[in-house]
Structure 1
Amino acid sequence: MLTSLLPGFRHLRTPFALGVLCAFQIWILFGDYVPSRSEAQGFVERIYTLGDVAGRAAVTAAISFLLYMVGDIVRLSSIQMTKILSRLRILRVAPHRFSTLSAQSKAALFDFASTAFEARKSTATDDDFRTLREKIVREFTEIRMRLIANHLDVYLEHDRFDAEADFRMNVGFYSMSLWPILAWSWTPWTLLGMIASVILFGNGLKARREANEILVQAILSGIAESRTHAEEVNQDYSTSSNVRISRTRTR
């Protein structure tokens, strides 16, 4: 029973943590503008009254639900975060460190993509191999669904790393704005906390690469079939069967 509940808890954790993180930052910035119970009037006073009627347990549950909703709305995927960092020109510092695929996975998928052209002895270049590799990477969501249906144990291992990556990357990303807010409201020394956010984000990227490594190995071992690779193999080309593949070993 615990095994079946854990994936659900993992996916609840990230939105709730983000909701708390965002609410805390808003409270630091605008908390002084919220009237106290004795000063409240109108709608704010009615909220305090509603809390008395419903009780603390109901208020806590309602606030938790709102925090979860906020966190689920602001949660970003690794692709969205990478695009934001790219627009901020942060990726230029060390682009390889922000990749969601390890060097080993890239090389393995590159070789796997080349087999599609070798199977039908078609002319192809390294650019063709890389294009097919990118298509296989975009197919990862479908691969996950196939693992759920046919290899649940492999999917659960992937999901563990995927949930850890989602949590660490999002919390690391959104906490980066927390430290400047604290520095402005309290002391500049809190800017040192950005180091922790960067480390947490980096750990999330590492977990993302490990999660994708499981998908890559599932494809290479034949546990899950890549649709785009199979389509490439079965394409009917009029090229001669003796045409030589143009290929270099550079990645």
Structure 2
Amino acid sequence: MLTSLLPGFRHLRTPFALGVLCAFQLWILIGGYVPSRSEAQGFIERIYTLGDVAGRAAVMAAISFLLYLVGDIVRLSSNQMTNILTRLRLPRIAPHRFSTLSAQSRYGLNDFASKAFMKRSDSPSDDDVSTLAQKMVMEFTEIRMRLIANHLDVYLEHDRYDAEADFRTNVGFYSVPLWPIIAWYWTPWMLLGVLASTVLFLNGLRARRDANEILVQAIVSGIVESRFYNEEADRDFAPSAGNVTIRRRTGTR
């Protein structure tokens, strides 16, 4: 039962942490403008009254839900994070740090992609191999679904790294504005916290590469099949207009 609950807790953790982080930053900026209970009037006074009626437990549950909702709205997916990094041109500065695939994974995927052309006795160009490998990377979402259906243990290991990557990259990204805000109200030394956020973000990218390494190995080792790879390998056997090729299979009785 604990194994089945863990993936759910992992995916709840990131939105809730982001909601708390955003709320804390807003509290530092505008917390002084929120009236106290004795000074509250109108709508703010009604909120205080509602808290007295509902009880502390209900108020905490409502606040937790709102924090989770805010965090889920601002959370960035891996594709959105990759697009941001590409627009900032960070992968060009340090490709090995900001890439979602390690050099070993990329080499293994390209080597596996080249075998699709060799099955047809073709000598593929580097561009053809890279294009097919990139298509397989775009297929990672489908690969995850196939692992859930047929190899749940492999998927759970991938999901652990993926959840860690999601948590670290998002918290690292959204915590960057926190340090200048605290530095403005307290001490400039807090700007050093930007380094901590950067390290956390880079650790998240490393976890993302580890998660994708599992998907690459699942494809290369044959645990799951790539649709794009099979289409490329069987291209010469596909029927075309005016020229139908029949692949004869050995029957069993």
TM-score by length of 2: 0.91
2:67 corresponding residue in structure 1: 67
Seq. identity, %: 77
Task: Tell me by how many angstroms 1:237 deviates.
Answer: 8.0
Provide Cα deviations, 1:135-182, integer angstroms capped at 9, x if missing partner.
000100000000000000000111111111111111111111111111
2:152 maps to a residue whose letter is L
Distance in 2 between the 1:177 and 1:226 partners?
A: 41
Q: Could you tell me which residue of structure 1 aligns to residue 241 of structure 2?
A: none
Q: List per-residue Cα deviations over 1:123-142 (Å, max 9, x = no partner).
A: 52101111111100010000
Q: Which amino acid in the other structure matches residue 130 of structure 1?
A: S
CA distance in 2, matches of 1:85, 1:36: 42
C-alpha deviations, 1:37-90, integer Å up to 9, x for none? 111111111111000000000000000000001101111022212322333344
1:19-168, aligned counterparts within 5 Å? 19-168=19-168
Distance change in 2, residues 1:181/1:90 (3 Å): farther
CA contact (8 A) 2:15 2:68 kept: yes
Matching residue's letter, 1:77: S
> How do 1:188-207 residues align onto structure 2 when only pairs under 5 Å count?
188-207=188-207
In 1, Cα distance between equivalents of 2:167 and 2:188: 27
Instruction: Say whether the 8 Å CA contact 2:116–2:229 is kept in structure 1.
Output: yes
- Kindly provide the amino acid, as one letter, of the partner of residue 114 in structure 1: S
Rounded to whole Å, the distance in 2 between the matches of 1:154 and 1:237 is: 32
Superposition TM-score, scaled by structure 1 size: 0.91
Q: Which letter maps to 2:78?
A: S
CA deviation after TM superposition for structure 1 residue 236, in Å: 2.8
* Cα contact 2:97–2:206 (8 A) shared by 1: no
Matched pairs, number: 238
Structure 1 vs Structure 2 CA RMSD: 1.4
What is the identity, as a one-letter code, of the residue corresponding to 1:187? T
Q: Which runs of 5+ in 2 are unaligned?
A: 239-253
Aligned equivalents of 1:191, 1:85: Cα separation in 2: 22
State the distance in 2 between where 1:160 and 1:67 align.
23
Q: Does 1:18 align with 2:23?
A: no
Any unmatched runs of 5+ in structure 1? 239-251
- In 1, the alpha carbon distance for the partners of 2:164 and 2:101 equals 16
Higher-RCO chain (CA-CA 8 Å, sequence separation at least 6): 1
Query: Do the aligned partners of residues 194 and 36 (structure 1) sit closer, same or farther apart at CA in structure 2, a change above 3 Å counting?
Result: same
Q: Using a 3 Å threshold, how does the CA distance of structure 1 residues 107 and 91 change in structure 2: closer, same or farther?
A: closer
